[in-house]
Amino acid sequence: MREKLLDIIIMIPAILIGFTFHEYAHAKVADIVGDKTPRFQGRLTLNPLAHIDPIGFLLILVMKFGWAKPVQVNRRNFKNGYKDDLKVTIAGPLANLFVAILFSVVFGLAFRFYFVDNYTQLSKIVIDILNAIIVININLFVFNLLPLPGLDGFGILEDLFPSFFSRISDSLYRYQFIIIALIAFGGARYLSIPTGAIQKLCGKLITAIAL
């Protein structure tokens, strides 16, 4: 029970960072390309409270499946229509990939210049937190690129092929939560292939810096 509670505590900063940077990236790029809706709604911030959905946050801690508050945008405000919307959509997953790589560098530097000579129980907890940040952000990057309604991957396809997806998107969005839940719980082993490959790359980066 104590170990399970510790695992949850370690996950909290990782989830907060992953969700916050993902949604902030959507908001920031939308603001840059002309839509001020996220700014007016208070989403142009790295304060986690602006992005965390309480229910989604609790569920990801308990069931490993949850969500943040989606950033709302108005496409009519974009200067270049679907091209700008594509930039906004892809910004979220790319932010998670950036965070994973950034914290891999931090992990490697911390290990090389501190942990190698000062390994304590506290050091282990910090290492576990850094590792959780890397893993969760990789998972968010891969999961959000799935071409499923409600996820960024589907939004990317909508932006690339607007005429086709305008005819079927309404029907698919009705069942988006069911589809995503089935994939999340039933397709975990398939998702482990791309996530595992990226985790190996981050691991090599950490090793190269640490040694």
Tally of residues, the chain: 211
Task: Report d(CA 191, CA 165) in Å as an integer.
Answer: 24
For residue 33, what are the CA distances in angstroms to 40, 80, 152, 163?
Answer: 15, 8, 18, 22
Positive or negative, the CA dihedral 194, 22, 19, 114 is positive
pLDDT in tens, 10-60: 999 999 999 999 999 999 999 999 999 999 999 999 999 999 999 989 888
H-run or E-run covering 90: helix 82-110
User: Could you tell me the pLDDT band of residue 210, with boundaries at 50, 70 and 90?
Assistant: confident
Q: Which residues pair with 80 in a beta bridge?
A: none
If pLDDT is split at 50, 70 and 90, which confidence band does 98 have?
A: very high
Domain extent, residue 68, equals 2-210
pTM score above 0.75: yes
Other beta carbons within 10 angstroms of residue 94's beta carbon come to 18
Domain count, the chain: 1
At 52 the three-state DSSP class reads strand
pLDDT tens per residue, range 142-201: 889 888 888 899 899 888 887 776 666 666 666 666 666 666 666 656 667 778 888 888
State the pLDDT at residue 190.
64
Q: CB neighbours (10 Å) of residue 42?
A: 12
Question: What is residue 68's three-state secondary structure?
Answer: strand
How far is 26 from 72, CA to CA, in rounded Å? 9
- The pLDDT of 195-209, averaged and rounded, is 85
pLDDT at position 79, please? 87
In angstroms, the CA 195 to CA 141 distance is 9
The angle subtended at Cα 148 by Cα 143 and Cα 154, nearest 5°, is 95
What residues act catalytically? 23
CA 119 → CA 124, 132, 133, 202, distances in Å? 7, 18, 20, 22
Q: Which of 31-40, 81-90, 113-122 has the lowest mean pLDDT?
A: 113-122
